[in-house]
Amino acid sequence: MPAESEEPDLVGARPGATRRRHGAGPRAPRRSPAFPGSRCYTASVQRRGGARRHPALRLVAIAVPASTLFVTGLPATAAAGPPLPRPAFHYGTRPPERRLCDPAAWPLPTDGALCDAARALAAAADGASGLERRALLVRLARFFVHRSGAPDAAVRPTLVRAASWTELYTALERAAEAHGDATRMGIGIWPGHEGPIGVLLCTRRLAEADPFPRRLAGPGRLVVEGTLLEDVHRPVAWVQGPQGGVLRLTAETPAPGRFRVAFDLRQFGTHVIELTVEGDEGPEVALLAPVYVGVSPPDGPDPPWPEPPGDPRVALRRAMDAMRREAALDPLHPEPRLDKAATWRAKDLAARHRLSHGGPAVSARARVDATGLRYTWLAEDLAVAPTAMGALQAMAESPAHRAVLLDPHATHAGVGFEAAGDEVYLVVLLATPARGRAGPSVPSLEQRALSTLAQRAAEALRAHRRRLGLRRALRDPALDALAEQLSLALAAADATELPEETARVRDLALQQDPDLASVRVDTVVGAEPEDIRHAPAASDPTCHRFGIGVAERKRSRLGPSRLWLTLFCGALEGPR
Protein backbone atom coordinates (compact mmCIF):
# COMPACT_ATOMS: atom_id res chain seq x y z
CA MET A 1 0.00 0.00 0.00
CA PRO A 2 1.56 3.37 -0.93
CA ALA A 3 1.95 6.11 1.60
CA GLU A 4 -1.28 7.88 2.47
CA SER A 5 -0.24 11.08 0.75
CA GLU A 6 0.08 9.11 -2.50
CA GLU A 7 -3.00 6.88 -2.15
CA PRO A 8 -5.63 8.08 -4.65
CA ASP A 9 -8.69 6.60 -2.96
CA LEU A 10 -8.04 7.82 0.55
CA VAL A 11 -10.93 9.79 1.99
CA GLY A 12 -10.02 13.15 3.45
CA ALA A 13 -6.24 13.14 3.05
CA ARG A 14 -4.81 16.64 2.81
CA PRO A 15 -2.74 17.14 -0.36
CA GLY A 16 0.86 17.90 0.53
CA ALA A 17 0.17 17.83 4.26
CA THR A 18 3.07 17.42 6.65
CA ARG A 19 3.07 14.88 9.42
CA ARG A 20 1.02 16.06 12.39
CA ARG A 21 2.00 15.58 15.99
CA HIS A 22 0.89 12.38 17.68
CA GLY A 23 -2.37 12.29 19.57
CA ALA A 24 -5.04 9.94 20.86
CA GLY A 25 -7.33 10.62 17.94
CA PRO A 26 -8.02 12.77 14.89
CA ARG A 27 -7.29 16.45 14.88
CA ALA A 28 -10.02 18.63 16.32
CA PRO A 29 -10.93 21.86 14.51
CA ARG A 30 -8.95 24.78 15.90
CA ARG A 31 -7.61 22.77 18.83
CA SER A 32 -4.98 24.54 20.89
CA PRO A 33 -1.82 22.33 21.03
CA ALA A 34 -0.63 23.69 24.37
CA PHE A 35 -1.86 25.36 27.50
CA PRO A 36 0.70 27.94 28.71
CA GLY A 37 1.19 28.35 32.41
CA SER A 38 0.54 24.74 33.35
CA ARG A 39 2.16 23.19 36.39
CA CYS A 40 2.96 19.50 36.78
CA TYR A 41 2.95 17.35 39.88
CA THR A 42 4.23 13.80 40.25
CA ALA A 43 3.05 11.54 43.05
CA SER A 44 3.61 7.94 44.09
CA VAL A 45 0.64 6.42 45.89
CA GLN A 46 0.89 3.60 48.44
CA ARG A 47 -2.03 1.57 49.80
CA ARG A 48 -3.07 2.57 53.28
CA GLY A 49 -2.51 -0.03 55.96
CA GLY A 50 0.67 -1.36 54.35
CA ALA A 51 -0.84 -4.74 53.43
CA ARG A 52 -0.27 -4.55 49.65
CA ARG A 53 1.15 -1.95 47.34
CA HIS A 54 -0.52 -1.05 44.11
CA PRO A 55 1.64 -1.48 41.02
CA ALA A 56 3.50 1.76 40.36
CA LEU A 57 1.30 4.43 38.88
CA ARG A 58 2.57 7.88 37.96
CA LEU A 59 0.04 10.66 37.97
CA VAL A 60 0.68 13.93 36.19
CA ALA A 61 -2.11 16.47 36.55
CA ILE A 62 -1.87 19.60 34.46
CA ALA A 63 -3.61 22.64 35.88
CA VAL A 64 -5.43 24.23 32.96
CA PRO A 65 -8.56 26.38 32.70
CA ALA A 66 -11.24 25.21 35.11
CA SER A 67 -12.99 22.52 33.11
CA THR A 68 -10.01 20.69 31.55
CA LEU A 69 -7.81 18.01 33.12
CA PHE A 70 -5.11 15.80 31.67
CA VAL A 71 -3.65 12.76 33.40
CA THR A 72 -1.22 10.06 32.41
CA GLY A 73 -2.17 6.43 32.69
CA LEU A 74 -0.08 3.34 33.29
CA PRO A 75 3.30 3.22 31.52
CA ALA A 76 2.89 2.35 27.84
CA THR A 77 4.04 -1.09 26.73
CA ALA A 78 5.08 -2.35 23.34
CA ALA A 79 2.28 -4.91 23.18
CA ALA A 80 -1.02 -5.60 24.83
CA GLY A 81 -0.35 -7.52 28.03
CA PRO A 82 -2.06 -10.77 28.99
CA PRO A 83 -5.49 -10.53 30.57
CA LEU A 84 -5.48 -10.00 34.31
CA PRO A 85 -7.13 -12.55 36.60
CA ARG A 86 -10.90 -12.18 36.80
CA PRO A 87 -11.19 -9.59 38.21
CA ALA A 88 -7.81 -7.99 38.93
CA PHE A 89 -6.26 -9.76 41.93
CA HIS A 90 -4.47 -6.70 43.23
CA TYR A 91 -7.53 -4.90 44.51
CA GLY A 92 -6.72 -5.75 48.12
CA THR A 93 -7.46 -8.04 51.02
CA ARG A 94 -9.87 -6.03 53.17
CA PRO A 95 -13.40 -7.49 53.31
CA PRO A 96 -15.08 -4.67 51.34
CA GLU A 97 -12.38 -4.95 48.69
CA ARG A 98 -12.49 -8.75 48.57
CA ARG A 99 -16.12 -8.47 47.52
CA LEU A 100 -14.89 -6.87 44.29
CA CYS A 101 -12.94 -10.07 43.56
CA ASP A 102 -16.02 -12.29 43.62
CA PRO A 103 -17.32 -12.73 40.03
CA ALA A 104 -20.62 -14.05 41.37
CA ALA A 105 -21.32 -10.64 42.92
CA TRP A 106 -21.63 -8.92 39.54
CA PRO A 107 -24.21 -9.24 36.76
CA LEU A 108 -21.59 -9.17 33.96
CA PRO A 109 -18.23 -10.85 33.31
CA THR A 110 -15.33 -8.65 34.41
CA ASP A 111 -12.51 -7.91 31.98
CA GLY A 112 -8.89 -7.47 33.09
CA ALA A 113 -8.06 -4.60 30.74
CA LEU A 114 -11.25 -2.75 31.66
CA CYS A 115 -10.45 -3.28 35.35
CA ASP A 116 -7.01 -1.72 34.83
CA ALA A 117 -8.58 1.21 32.99
CA ALA A 118 -11.17 1.68 35.73
CA ARG A 119 -8.48 1.61 38.43
CA ALA A 120 -6.36 4.17 36.56
CA LEU A 121 -9.37 6.46 36.19
CA ALA A 122 -10.22 6.10 39.89
CA ALA A 123 -6.63 7.02 40.79
CA ALA A 124 -6.71 10.01 38.46
CA ALA A 125 -9.90 11.22 40.11
CA ASP A 126 -8.21 11.39 43.53
CA GLY A 127 -7.91 15.10 44.24
CA ALA A 128 -8.95 16.05 40.71
CA SER A 129 -11.69 18.55 40.05
CA GLY A 130 -13.93 18.90 37.03
CA LEU A 131 -14.80 15.22 36.64
CA GLU A 132 -18.39 16.05 37.52
CA ARG A 133 -18.52 17.22 33.91
CA ARG A 134 -19.54 14.00 32.20
CA ALA A 135 -17.96 15.07 28.92
CA LEU A 136 -14.54 15.16 30.58
CA LEU A 137 -15.16 11.88 32.43
CA VAL A 138 -16.03 10.14 29.15
CA ARG A 139 -12.86 11.47 27.48
CA LEU A 140 -10.67 10.24 30.34
CA ALA A 141 -12.39 6.84 30.37
CA ARG A 142 -11.80 6.45 26.63
CA PHE A 143 -8.13 7.40 27.08
CA PHE A 144 -7.50 4.86 29.85
CA VAL A 145 -9.38 2.13 27.97
CA HIS A 146 -7.03 2.61 25.01
CA ARG A 147 -3.98 2.66 27.29
CA SER A 148 -5.04 -0.58 28.97
CA GLY A 149 -5.25 -2.43 25.66
CA ALA A 150 -9.01 -2.99 25.67
CA PRO A 151 -10.51 -3.05 22.15
CA ASP A 152 -13.76 -1.30 23.05
CA ALA A 153 -14.90 1.67 20.99
CA ALA A 154 -17.21 3.07 23.66
CA VAL A 155 -17.59 2.61 27.40
CA ARG A 156 -20.08 4.00 29.89
CA PRO A 157 -18.19 5.27 32.95
CA THR A 158 -19.63 5.69 36.44
CA LEU A 159 -17.54 7.54 39.05
CA VAL A 160 -18.38 7.03 42.73
CA ARG A 161 -16.91 8.89 45.72
CA ALA A 162 -17.86 7.39 49.09
CA ALA A 163 -17.13 7.78 52.79
CA SER A 164 -16.40 4.07 53.41
CA TRP A 165 -15.56 0.90 51.52
CA THR A 166 -18.97 -0.58 52.30
CA GLU A 167 -20.75 2.48 50.96
CA LEU A 168 -18.56 2.40 47.85
CA TYR A 169 -19.32 -1.25 47.14
CA THR A 170 -23.04 -0.69 47.58
CA ALA A 171 -22.98 2.22 45.12
CA LEU A 172 -20.96 0.24 42.55
CA GLU A 173 -23.32 -2.71 42.88
CA ARG A 174 -26.31 -0.44 42.30
CA ALA A 175 -24.63 1.08 39.22
CA ALA A 176 -23.75 -2.36 37.83
CA GLU A 177 -27.38 -3.45 38.00
CA ALA A 178 -28.27 -0.67 35.53
CA HIS A 179 -25.83 -1.88 32.87
CA GLY A 180 -28.37 -1.89 30.00
CA ASP A 181 -27.19 -3.96 27.03
CA ALA A 182 -23.54 -4.14 28.18
CA THR A 183 -21.72 -7.48 28.00
CA ARG A 184 -18.42 -6.69 29.79
CA MET A 185 -17.48 -4.56 32.77
CA GLY A 186 -14.42 -3.35 34.63
CA ILE A 187 -14.27 -2.24 38.27
CA GLY A 188 -11.52 -0.10 39.76
CA ILE A 189 -11.08 1.33 43.26
CA TRP A 190 -8.60 3.74 44.80
CA PRO A 191 -8.02 4.80 48.44
CA GLY A 192 -8.59 8.50 47.92
CA HIS A 193 -7.36 11.16 50.31
CA GLU A 194 -10.94 12.10 51.20
CA GLY A 195 -12.44 8.62 51.00
CA PRO A 196 -12.45 5.63 48.65
CA ILE A 197 -13.12 6.20 44.96
CA GLY A 198 -14.63 3.66 42.60
CA VAL A 199 -15.12 3.51 38.84
CA LEU A 200 -17.36 1.18 36.88
CA LEU A 201 -16.84 0.81 33.11
CA CYS A 202 -19.51 -1.01 31.09
CA THR A 203 -19.37 -1.84 27.39
CA ARG A 204 -21.11 -3.96 24.78
CA ARG A 205 -18.28 -5.95 23.23
CA LEU A 206 -18.92 -7.39 19.78
CA ALA A 207 -15.41 -8.73 19.08
CA GLU A 208 -12.41 -9.98 21.04
CA ALA A 209 -9.04 -9.26 19.44
CA ASP A 210 -6.02 -11.45 20.03
CA PRO A 211 -3.18 -9.45 21.69
CA PHE A 212 -1.43 -7.22 19.16
CA PRO A 213 1.22 -4.48 19.50
CA ARG A 214 -0.05 -0.98 20.14
CA ARG A 215 3.41 0.53 19.49
CA LEU A 216 5.68 -0.15 16.52
CA ALA A 217 9.30 0.99 16.29
CA GLY A 218 8.79 1.95 12.66
CA PRO A 219 6.50 1.53 9.65
CA GLY A 220 5.46 -2.02 8.89
CA ARG A 221 2.60 -4.49 8.69
CA LEU A 222 0.27 -5.09 11.63
CA VAL A 223 -1.90 -8.21 11.58
CA VAL A 224 -4.95 -8.20 13.86
CA GLU A 225 -6.93 -11.38 14.44
CA GLY A 226 -9.82 -12.13 16.74
CA THR A 227 -13.24 -13.60 17.38
CA LEU A 228 -16.70 -12.17 16.77
CA LEU A 229 -18.62 -12.56 20.02
CA GLU A 230 -22.22 -11.99 18.96
CA ASP A 231 -24.39 -12.93 16.00
CA VAL A 232 -22.70 -10.45 13.68
CA HIS A 233 -21.12 -10.87 10.28
CA ARG A 234 -19.40 -9.06 7.40
CA PRO A 235 -16.42 -7.54 9.24
CA VAL A 236 -14.92 -4.49 7.52
CA ALA A 237 -11.65 -2.85 8.55
CA TRP A 238 -10.76 0.83 8.50
CA VAL A 239 -7.52 2.68 9.18
CA GLN A 240 -6.98 6.39 9.67
CA GLY A 241 -3.48 7.67 8.99
CA PRO A 242 -1.54 10.43 10.74
CA GLN A 243 -2.67 12.98 8.14
CA GLY A 244 -6.36 12.23 8.72
CA GLY A 245 -7.09 10.19 5.59
CA VAL A 246 -9.18 7.03 5.93
CA LEU A 247 -8.76 3.78 4.01
CA ARG A 248 -11.24 0.89 3.93
CA LEU A 249 -9.82 -2.65 3.94
CA THR A 250 -11.22 -6.11 3.45
CA ALA A 251 -11.29 -8.28 6.56
CA GLU A 252 -10.69 -11.99 6.01
CA THR A 253 -12.84 -14.63 7.72
CA PRO A 254 -10.52 -17.67 7.94
CA ALA A 255 -13.05 -19.61 10.03
CA PRO A 256 -16.63 -19.10 11.21
CA GLY A 257 -16.67 -16.41 13.86
CA ARG A 258 -13.04 -15.39 13.24
CA PHE A 259 -11.57 -12.34 11.48
CA ARG A 260 -8.11 -11.38 10.24
CA VAL A 261 -6.94 -8.00 8.94
CA ALA A 262 -3.49 -6.93 7.72
CA PHE A 263 -2.81 -3.21 8.12
CA ASP A 264 0.13 -1.67 6.22
CA LEU A 265 1.18 1.22 8.47
CA ARG A 266 3.77 2.98 6.30
CA GLN A 267 3.95 6.35 8.01
CA PHE A 268 5.33 7.52 11.33
CA GLY A 269 2.68 8.84 13.67
CA THR A 270 -0.62 7.78 15.20
CA HIS A 271 -2.86 5.43 13.25
CA VAL A 272 -6.39 4.51 14.34
CA ILE A 273 -7.63 1.06 13.34
CA GLU A 274 -11.28 0.05 13.46
CA LEU A 275 -13.47 -2.95 12.73
CA THR A 276 -17.16 -2.65 11.90
CA VAL A 277 -19.63 -5.53 11.64
CA GLU A 278 -23.19 -6.01 10.43
CA GLY A 279 -25.86 -6.85 12.99
CA ASP A 280 -29.63 -7.07 13.05
CA GLU A 281 -29.94 -3.29 12.97
CA GLY A 282 -27.16 -2.35 10.57
CA PRO A 283 -23.42 -1.68 10.97
CA GLU A 284 -21.83 -1.35 14.41
CA VAL A 285 -18.30 -0.65 15.65
CA ALA A 286 -16.70 -3.79 17.08
CA LEU A 287 -13.10 -2.66 17.66
CA LEU A 288 -11.30 0.68 17.86
CA ALA A 289 -7.67 1.19 18.86
CA PRO A 290 -4.85 3.69 18.26
CA VAL A 291 -1.48 2.32 17.10
CA TYR A 292 1.66 4.43 17.54
CA VAL A 293 4.31 4.02 14.83
CA GLY A 294 7.68 5.46 15.82
CA VAL A 295 6.13 7.88 18.30
CA SER A 296 5.22 7.75 21.97
CA PRO A 297 1.61 7.61 23.16
CA PRO A 298 0.20 10.91 24.42
CA ASP A 299 0.27 11.75 28.12
CA GLY A 300 -3.45 12.45 28.19
CA PRO A 301 -6.58 12.67 26.07
CA ASP A 302 -7.47 15.44 23.70
CA PRO A 303 -9.85 17.81 25.51
CA PRO A 304 -13.57 17.65 24.76
CA TRP A 305 -14.66 19.89 21.93
CA PRO A 306 -16.28 22.94 23.54
CA GLU A 307 -20.02 23.52 23.32
CA PRO A 308 -20.33 27.08 21.95
CA PRO A 309 -23.30 29.24 22.97
CA GLY A 310 -26.18 29.65 20.57
CA ASP A 311 -27.76 27.20 18.16
CA PRO A 312 -25.88 23.85 18.37
CA ARG A 313 -26.66 23.17 14.71
CA VAL A 314 -24.57 26.17 13.69
CA ALA A 315 -21.60 24.98 15.76
CA LEU A 316 -21.93 21.43 14.44
CA ARG A 317 -21.99 22.62 10.82
CA ARG A 318 -18.96 24.85 11.39
CA ALA A 319 -17.02 21.96 12.92
CA MET A 320 -17.90 19.64 10.01
CA ASP A 321 -16.95 22.29 7.47
CA ALA A 322 -13.63 22.85 9.28
CA MET A 323 -12.87 19.14 9.01
CA ARG A 324 -13.67 19.14 5.30
CA ARG A 325 -11.61 22.28 4.62
CA GLU A 326 -8.66 20.64 6.35
CA ALA A 327 -9.10 17.70 3.95
CA ALA A 328 -9.32 20.05 0.93
CA LEU A 329 -13.05 19.34 0.46
CA ASP A 330 -15.93 21.71 -0.14
CA PRO A 331 -18.18 22.63 2.80
CA LEU A 332 -21.64 21.08 3.07
CA HIS A 333 -24.78 23.01 2.19
CA PRO A 334 -27.66 23.02 4.71
CA GLU A 335 -30.77 21.11 3.62
CA PRO A 336 -33.93 21.64 5.74
CA ARG A 337 -35.46 18.36 4.59
CA LEU A 338 -32.39 16.46 5.77
CA ASP A 339 -32.57 18.38 9.07
CA LYS A 340 -36.17 17.25 9.45
CA ALA A 341 -35.35 13.60 8.75
CA ALA A 342 -32.29 13.67 11.03
CA THR A 343 -34.31 15.20 13.87
CA TRP A 344 -36.95 12.47 13.57
CA ARG A 345 -34.21 9.83 13.66
CA ALA A 346 -32.57 11.41 16.72
CA LYS A 347 -35.86 11.50 18.62
CA ASP A 348 -36.47 7.86 17.78
CA LEU A 349 -33.00 6.80 18.97
CA ALA A 350 -33.33 8.79 22.20
CA ALA A 351 -36.73 7.23 22.90
CA ARG A 352 -35.24 3.74 22.52
CA HIS A 353 -31.90 4.60 24.20
CA ARG A 354 -30.05 2.74 21.46
CA LEU A 355 -27.96 3.54 18.41
CA SER A 356 -29.34 1.72 15.38
CA HIS A 357 -29.27 2.32 11.64
CA GLY A 358 -32.64 0.59 11.37
CA GLY A 359 -31.91 -3.00 10.33
CA PRO A 360 -33.20 -4.50 7.07
CA ALA A 361 -35.57 -1.59 6.41
CA VAL A 362 -33.28 1.43 6.72
CA SER A 363 -35.41 4.01 8.45
CA ALA A 364 -33.09 6.90 7.55
CA ARG A 365 -33.82 6.37 3.87
CA ALA A 366 -37.53 6.04 4.57
CA ARG A 367 -37.54 9.30 6.54
CA VAL A 368 -35.67 11.20 3.83
CA ASP A 369 -38.01 9.82 1.16
CA ALA A 370 -40.97 11.00 3.24
CA THR A 371 -39.67 14.58 3.00
CA GLY A 372 -39.85 14.48 -0.82
CA LEU A 373 -36.11 15.00 -1.29
CA ARG A 374 -34.77 13.26 -4.39
CA TYR A 375 -31.14 12.18 -4.13
CA THR A 376 -28.50 10.06 -5.83
CA TRP A 377 -26.40 9.32 -2.73
CA LEU A 378 -27.27 9.16 0.98
CA ALA A 379 -25.32 8.27 4.12
CA GLU A 380 -25.95 8.42 7.86
CA ASP A 381 -23.69 8.86 10.90
CA LEU A 382 -24.90 8.20 14.46
CA ALA A 383 -23.25 8.88 17.83
CA VAL A 384 -24.16 9.42 21.47
CA ALA A 385 -22.20 11.49 23.99
CA PRO A 386 -22.80 13.89 26.89
CA THR A 387 -22.99 16.81 24.43
CA ALA A 388 -23.80 17.25 20.75
CA MET A 389 -20.25 18.45 20.04
CA GLY A 390 -18.91 15.46 21.97
CA ALA A 391 -20.93 13.16 19.72
CA LEU A 392 -19.48 14.84 16.62
CA GLN A 393 -15.99 14.50 18.14
CA ALA A 394 -16.64 10.77 18.58
CA MET A 395 -17.59 10.57 14.88
CA ALA A 396 -14.39 12.38 13.91
CA GLU A 397 -12.30 9.92 15.95
CA SER A 398 -13.90 6.84 14.37
CA PRO A 399 -12.36 6.09 10.94
CA ALA A 400 -15.60 4.60 9.57
CA HIS A 401 -17.68 7.60 10.67
CA ARG A 402 -14.98 10.06 9.62
CA ALA A 403 -15.00 8.54 6.13
CA VAL A 404 -18.69 9.46 5.83
CA LEU A 405 -18.16 13.03 7.03
CA LEU A 406 -15.30 13.45 4.53
CA ASP A 407 -16.92 11.66 1.61
CA PRO A 408 -16.34 13.76 -1.54
CA HIS A 409 -19.77 12.74 -2.89
CA ALA A 410 -21.57 14.62 -0.11
CA THR A 411 -22.79 18.10 -0.98
CA HIS A 412 -25.62 18.67 1.51
CA ALA A 413 -26.09 17.78 5.17
CA GLY A 414 -28.80 17.62 7.79
CA VAL A 415 -28.27 17.55 11.55
CA GLY A 416 -30.60 16.29 14.27
CA PHE A 417 -30.03 15.76 17.99
CA GLU A 418 -32.09 14.84 21.03
CA ALA A 419 -31.21 14.67 24.74
CA ALA A 420 -32.08 11.62 26.83
CA GLY A 421 -30.96 11.91 30.44
CA ASP A 422 -27.28 12.83 30.53
CA GLU A 423 -26.69 11.80 26.90
CA VAL A 424 -27.31 13.46 23.54
CA TYR A 425 -28.07 11.41 20.42
CA LEU A 426 -26.69 12.98 17.25
CA VAL A 427 -27.71 12.08 13.69
CA VAL A 428 -25.91 13.48 10.64
CA LEU A 429 -27.41 12.80 7.21
CA LEU A 430 -25.32 13.56 4.14
CA ALA A 431 -26.68 13.46 0.62
CA THR A 432 -26.22 14.44 -2.98
CA PRO A 433 -29.60 15.77 -4.16
CA ALA A 434 -30.63 14.79 -7.67
CA ARG A 435 -31.15 17.50 -10.25
CA GLY A 436 -34.65 18.00 -11.61
CA ARG A 437 -38.06 17.70 -10.10
CA ALA A 438 -38.53 16.82 -6.45
CA GLY A 439 -39.93 13.46 -5.53
CA PRO A 440 -39.07 10.20 -3.84
CA SER A 441 -35.80 8.55 -4.80
CA VAL A 442 -35.58 5.23 -6.59
CA PRO A 443 -36.65 2.65 -4.00
CA SER A 444 -34.13 0.12 -2.73
CA LEU A 445 -34.59 -3.65 -3.09
CA GLU A 446 -35.67 -3.81 0.57
CA GLN A 447 -38.24 -1.05 0.02
CA ARG A 448 -39.62 -2.75 -3.08
CA ALA A 449 -39.90 -6.04 -1.18
CA LEU A 450 -41.73 -4.36 1.70
CA SER A 451 -44.01 -2.55 -0.76
CA THR A 452 -44.96 -5.92 -2.26
CA LEU A 453 -45.69 -7.30 1.21
CA ALA A 454 -47.85 -4.26 2.00
CA GLN A 455 -49.79 -4.79 -1.24
CA ARG A 456 -50.44 -8.43 -0.30
CA ALA A 457 -51.61 -7.32 3.14
CA ALA A 458 -54.00 -4.78 1.58
CA GLU A 459 -55.50 -7.43 -0.71
CA ALA A 460 -55.94 -9.79 2.26
CA LEU A 461 -57.65 -7.00 4.22
CA ARG A 462 -60.10 -6.27 1.40
CA ALA A 463 -60.93 -9.98 1.02
CA HIS A 464 -61.48 -10.29 4.78
CA ARG A 465 -63.87 -7.32 4.86
CA ARG A 466 -65.80 -8.69 1.85
CA ARG A 467 -66.32 -11.99 3.66
CA LEU A 468 -67.71 -10.09 6.66
CA GLY A 469 -70.01 -8.00 4.45
CA LEU A 470 -68.36 -4.72 5.54
CA ARG A 471 -68.13 -1.54 3.46
CA ARG A 472 -65.21 -1.16 1.08
CA ALA A 473 -62.52 1.09 2.55
CA LEU A 474 -60.14 3.15 0.45
CA ARG A 475 -56.37 2.90 0.87
CA ASP A 476 -54.84 6.26 1.90
CA PRO A 477 -51.13 6.93 1.04
CA ALA A 478 -50.81 9.35 3.98
CA LEU A 479 -51.99 6.66 6.39
CA ASP A 480 -49.63 4.19 4.67
CA ALA A 481 -46.66 6.46 5.48
CA LEU A 482 -47.65 6.76 9.16
CA ALA A 483 -48.27 3.02 9.43
CA GLU A 484 -44.83 2.36 7.97
CA GLN A 485 -43.24 4.69 10.54
CA LEU A 486 -44.82 2.78 13.39
CA SER A 487 -43.93 -0.63 11.94
CA LEU A 488 -40.28 0.40 11.52
CA ALA A 489 -40.11 1.71 15.08
CA LEU A 490 -41.66 -1.46 16.52
CA ALA A 491 -39.41 -3.75 14.49
CA ALA A 492 -36.30 -1.79 15.46
CA ALA A 493 -37.27 -2.09 19.14
CA ASP A 494 -38.31 -5.76 18.68
CA ALA A 495 -41.50 -4.83 20.55
CA THR A 496 -45.20 -5.46 20.10
CA GLU A 497 -46.26 -2.06 21.39
CA LEU A 498 -44.88 1.45 21.81
CA PRO A 499 -47.71 3.45 23.42
CA GLU A 500 -46.09 6.88 23.09
CA GLU A 501 -45.12 6.40 19.45
CA THR A 502 -48.55 4.96 18.64
CA ALA A 503 -50.28 7.96 20.21
CA ARG A 504 -47.97 10.32 18.32
CA VAL A 505 -48.67 8.90 14.86
CA ARG A 506 -52.41 8.61 15.62
CA ASP A 507 -52.54 12.31 16.54
CA LEU A 508 -50.51 13.13 13.43
CA ALA A 509 -53.05 11.29 11.25
CA LEU A 510 -55.90 13.34 12.70
CA GLN A 511 -53.94 16.58 12.21
CA GLN A 512 -53.11 15.79 8.58
CA ASP A 513 -56.71 14.99 7.58
CA PRO A 514 -59.40 17.12 9.30
CA ASP A 515 -62.11 14.97 7.67
CA LEU A 516 -61.23 12.03 9.91
CA ALA A 517 -63.28 11.88 13.09
CA SER A 518 -61.29 9.01 14.60
CA VAL A 519 -58.33 6.76 13.80
CA ARG A 520 -57.81 3.24 15.08
CA VAL A 521 -54.29 1.75 15.10
CA ASP A 522 -53.45 -1.95 15.48
CA THR A 523 -50.21 -3.87 14.95
CA VAL A 524 -49.85 -7.63 14.62
CA VAL A 525 -46.60 -9.60 14.35
CA GLY A 526 -46.76 -12.57 12.03
CA ALA A 527 -44.99 -14.62 9.40
CA GLU A 528 -47.12 -13.68 6.37
CA PRO A 529 -48.69 -10.38 5.23
CA GLU A 530 -52.10 -12.10 5.21
CA ASP A 531 -51.91 -12.13 9.03
CA ILE A 532 -53.17 -8.53 8.87
CA ARG A 533 -56.70 -9.96 9.05
CA HIS A 534 -56.09 -10.80 12.73
CA ALA A 535 -55.85 -7.10 13.61
CA PRO A 536 -59.03 -6.01 15.46
CA ALA A 537 -59.24 -2.91 13.25
CA ALA A 538 -59.57 -5.16 10.19
CA SER A 539 -63.15 -5.93 11.25
CA ASP A 540 -64.07 -2.35 12.18
CA PRO A 541 -67.40 -1.47 10.45
CA THR A 542 -66.71 2.28 10.71
CA CYS A 543 -63.52 2.18 8.63
CA HIS A 544 -63.63 4.41 5.54
CA ARG A 545 -59.90 4.81 4.85
CA PHE A 546 -56.98 2.59 5.77
CA GLY A 547 -53.21 2.54 5.63
CA ILE A 548 -50.83 -0.42 5.95
CA GLY A 549 -47.18 -0.43 6.97
CA VAL A 550 -44.85 -3.43 6.95
CA ALA A 551 -41.41 -3.89 8.52
CA GLU A 552 -39.34 -7.07 8.63
CA ARG A 553 -36.79 -8.34 11.13
CA LYS A 554 -34.80 -11.47 10.26
CA ARG A 555 -33.98 -12.39 13.86
CA SER A 556 -36.40 -11.50 16.62
CA ARG A 557 -37.23 -12.65 20.11
CA LEU A 558 -40.67 -13.43 18.64
CA GLY A 559 -39.25 -15.84 16.06
CA PRO A 560 -37.31 -15.88 12.78
CA SER A 561 -38.30 -13.58 9.90
CA ARG A 562 -41.08 -11.73 11.68
CA LEU A 563 -43.29 -9.13 9.98
CA TRP A 564 -44.67 -6.11 11.84
CA LEU A 565 -48.02 -5.32 10.16
CA THR A 566 -49.57 -2.01 11.22
CA LEU A 567 -53.13 -1.12 10.20
CA PHE A 568 -54.56 2.41 10.37
CA CYS A 569 -58.36 2.63 10.04
CA GLY A 570 -59.89 6.09 9.77
CA ALA A 571 -63.59 6.87 10.21
CA LEU A 572 -65.24 9.92 8.66
CA GLU A 573 -67.84 9.95 11.42
CA GLY A 574 -67.70 8.90 15.05
CA PRO A 575 -67.85 5.21 16.02
CA ARG A 576 -71.31 3.65 15.79
For CA atoms 396, 305, 216, 115, the dihedral sign is negative
Query: Is the preceding omega at residue 65 within 30 degrees of 0, hence cis?
Result: no
Q: What amino acid occupies position 301? A: P
Alpha-carbon span 67 to 65, nearest angstrom: 6
Where do you find CATH 3.40.33.10 in the chain? 97-203, 312-433, 445-572
pLDDT score recorded for residue 230: 80
Give the per-residue pLDDT at 99. Answer: 61
Phi, psi of 119 (to 5 degrees): -65, -45
- pLDDT for the residue numbered 269: 94
Q: Quick one: pLDDT at residue 397?
A: 93
- Stretches where the chain sits below pLDDT 50 are 1-95, 359-362, 437-445, 574-576
**What's the topology of domain 312-433?**
Pathogenesis-related Protein p14a (3.40.33)
- CATH assignment of 97-203, among 3.30.70.20, 3.30.930.10, 3.40.33.10, 3.30.565.10: 3.40.33.10
Q: What is the pLDDT of residue 267?
A: 92
What does the pLDDT read at residue 478? 78
Cis-peptide into 87, omega within 30 deg: yes
The CATH-assigned architecture of domain 445-572 is 3-Layer(aba) Sandwich (3.40)
pLDDT digits (tens, 9 = 90+) for 55-92: 322 222 222 222 222 222 223 333 333 333 333 334 44
Q: Give the CA distances from residue 553 to residues 181, 214, 228, in Å, rounded to whole numbers and listed in that order.
A: 19, 39, 21
The predicted structure's pLDDT at residue 349 = 84
Residue-wise pLDDT tens digits, 144-157:
999 998 989 889 99
For the chain, residues classed under CATH 2.60.40.10 are: 207-293
CATH topology of domain 207-293: Immunoglobulin-like (2.60.40)
- What was the pLDDT predicted at 310? 80
187/120 Cα distance (integer angstroms): 10
Report pLDDT for 395: 94
